[in-house]
């Protein structure tokens, strides 16, 4: 686990994001009973899962599963109890999602989140006493905090956090950290984002500007299994 009081590397951010959202290369039921795979990819029906074109393979043979087999896997996992440990679902399933496929989807979703975070910070009403004009002027950990929020909330919900935006632009880390609180997520996630924002040195060095999205590790580790 990354030190919440130190600067995060892109790899550490990805690992924390996976821990917050959950990561699995197989189907499982989240605490609300929704079929999920990868990093928080949820599907409300077998048909929607097939339509996503995620590549699934048979665990034993390694052969690519057909649409009918993917639907059968969906039905199989749907009958299990919800909110169990990931190993429970892995032991009951017959298929695994292709890791490179899931990684590519995560990269694309992070790219969208990065754009949303920049839109949130760079547009909107003028703020008095601005110290940080652009998203990429912010300290690295603060950029990553907004990226996490954008990934989790989406643009429209993130844009409701206008007091957060105001305090961030003013460099008021204490009040910004308080305004970052979200409802309906783990307390550990709220606490982590709070520390990413509030723990800034008095003399801030130029940030390691994020260009696009953080690099995804080539071999993601399932820390929840």
Residue boundaries of the structural domains of the chain: 10-17+104-198, 22-99
In whole angstroms, what is the distance from residue 156 CA to residue 193 CA?
A: 19
- 103: confidence class by pLDDT, cuts 50, 70, 90: very high
Under DSSP, is residue 42 helix (H, G, I), strand (E, B) or coil?
strand
In whole angstroms, what is the distance from residue 96 CA to residue 150 CA?
A: 28
Instruction: Look at residue 8 in the predicted model and tell me its pLDDT.
Output: 79
The tally of CA atoms less than 13 A away on the side-chain side of residue 71 is: 8
- 212: confidence class by pLDDT, cuts 50, 70, 90: low
Question: With contact defined as beta carbons under 8 Å apart, do 209 and 136 qualify?
Answer: yes
Give the Cβ contact number of residue 130 at 10 Å. 13
Higher pLDDT, 111 or 210: 111
Instruction: Look at residue 6 in the predicted model and tell me its pLDDT.
Output: 63
In whole angstroms, what is the distance from residue 73 CA to residue 213 CA?
A: 33
In whole angstroms, what is the distance from residue 175 CA to residue 146 CA?
A: 15
Instruction: Look at residue 213 in the predicted model and tell me its pLDDT.
Output: 59
- 10: confidence class by pLDDT, cuts 50, 70, 90: confident
- 221: confidence class by pLDDT, cuts 50, 70, 90: very low
Beta strands in 76-221 (DSSP E): 95-97
Task: Quote the pTM value.
Answer: 0.80
- What are the two backbone dihedrals, phi and then psi, of residue 96, each rounded to the nearest 5 degrees? -125, 140
Angle at 207 between CA 205 and CA 213, to 5 degrees: 170
Instruction: Look at residue 112 in the predicted model and tell me its pLDDT.
Output: 96
In whole angstroms, what is the distance from residue 144 CA to residue 135 CA?
A: 10
Reading the block at residue 207, the tokens are 């940030």
Which residue, among 87, 91, 86, has the nearest Cα to 39 in the 3D structure? 86
Q: How many residues does the chain have?
A: 225
The tally of CA atoms less than 13 A away on the side-chain side of residue 9 is: 8
């Amino acid at each position: 686990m990354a030190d919440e009081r130190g600067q995060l590397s892109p790899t550490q951010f990805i690992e924390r994001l996976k821990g917050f959202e959950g990561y699995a290369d197989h189907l499982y039921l989240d605490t609300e009973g929704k079929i999920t795979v990868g990093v928080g990819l949820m599907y409300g029906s077998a048909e929607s899962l097939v339509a996503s074109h995620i590549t699934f393979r048979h665990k034993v043979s390694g052969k690519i599963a057909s649409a009918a087999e993917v639907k059968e896997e969906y039905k199989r996992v749907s009958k299990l109890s919800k909110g169990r440990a990931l190993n429970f679902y892995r032991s009951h399933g017959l298929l695994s999602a292709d890791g490179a496929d899931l990684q590519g989807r995560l990269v694309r979703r992070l790219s969208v989140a990065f754009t949303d975070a920049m839109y949130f910070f760079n547009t909107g009403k003028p703020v008095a006493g601005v110290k940080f004009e652009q998203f990429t002027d912010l300290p690295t950990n603060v950029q990553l905090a907004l990226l996490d929020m954008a990934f989790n909330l989406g643009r429209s919900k993130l844009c409701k956090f206008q007091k957060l935006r105001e305090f961030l632009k003013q460099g008021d880390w204490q009040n910004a950290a308080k305004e970052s609180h979200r409802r309906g997520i783990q307390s550990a996630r709220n606490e982590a984002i709070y520390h990413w924002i509030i723990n800034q040195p008095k003399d801030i060095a130029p940030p390691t500007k994020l260009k696009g999205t953080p690099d995804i590790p080539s071999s993601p580790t399932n820390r929840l299994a």
